[in-house]
Homo-oligomer: A and B are copies of this chain.
Amino acid sequence: MGGPEIERLISLFGKLPGFGPRSARRVVLSLLKQPHSRMIPLANALEQAAKMVRICSSCGNLDSSDPCQICNDLNRNRELICIVETVGDLWALEKTGAFRGYYQVLGGTLSPLAGVGPEDLNLAPLLKRLKRNEVKEIILALGATVEGVTTMHWLYDQLLPWHVKITRVGQGIPMGGSLEILDEGTLTAALTARRPA
């Protein structure tokens, strides 16, 4: 429609998560209207970030520094470690501002079907921290999927000998959620997790 350069851009955008051909066209069109004020800055930001991004050797986060900003932040609570599956989960929790400890990104969940075993999970940095005797509580914040729950059970067994408190994130009705549209599993979990009002 607009020459090979524009077609290529639309096709690259179309491969991003949440994009289809129509939304890719829409985004490219909006960018093309401001080539200098929007496309060039985005191109430069992509190049910069691609050059700088590292996997934090301490927690598994993605950052332009290693250790990442979170691991470098000395004002956080060293006694608290939150185990998450992905960097996306870490970012989502971090956005809440509700957690002031450190993280451990597993990089996956145990899944015999997908061939993911314990050796594929990024746990070594956590064991180092445990050996330094600074950890008091480990929060298991994996998703409530079959793999997530299996992995949490396995982690519980692994962490038990270290004599630290092991907790799991609460389960129940999401904020703003109406009971009517929720699945039976969530409703059952919400009933089980009931507290005095």
* Chain A interface (Cβ < 8 Å from any Cβ of B): 1-6, 8-9, 12-13, 15-19, 23, 25-33, 35-36, 38-53, 61-65, 68-70, 87-88, 90-92, 94-95
State whether B29 touches A88 (Cβ < 8 A). Answer: yes
Contacts beyond the supplied A4-B64, A5-B49, A40-B50: 12 A-B pairs with Cβ under 8 Å: A2-B61, A2-B68, A6-B63, A9-B45, A9-B49, A12-B41, A13-B42, A17-B26, A31-B49, A35-B51, A43-B44, A43-B47
Complex CA–CA separation, A18 to B16 (angstroms): 13
State whether B36 touches A27 (Cβ < 8 A). Answer: no
For the complex, would chain A's binding face be called helix, strand, loop or mixed by DSSP majority?
helix
Q: How many copies does the complex hold?
A: 2
State whether A50 touches B39 (Cβ < 8 A). Answer: yes
State whether A62 touches B30 (Cβ < 8 A). Answer: no
Chain B: which residue is nearest A11 at the CB level? Answer: B45
In-complex Cβ contact of A9 among B13, B27, B46, B95 (8 A):
B46
Q: List 28 A-B contacts (CB under 8 A).
A: A1-B94, A1-B95, A2-B53, A2-B64, A2-B68, A2-B69, A5-B52, A8-B45, A9-B46, A12-B38, A12-B45, A16-B27, A16-B30, A16-B31, A17-B26, A18-B23, A18-B26, A25-B91, A25-B92, A26-B88, A29-B62, A29-B88, A32-B62, A32-B87, A35-B50, A36-B50, A39-B46, A46-B46
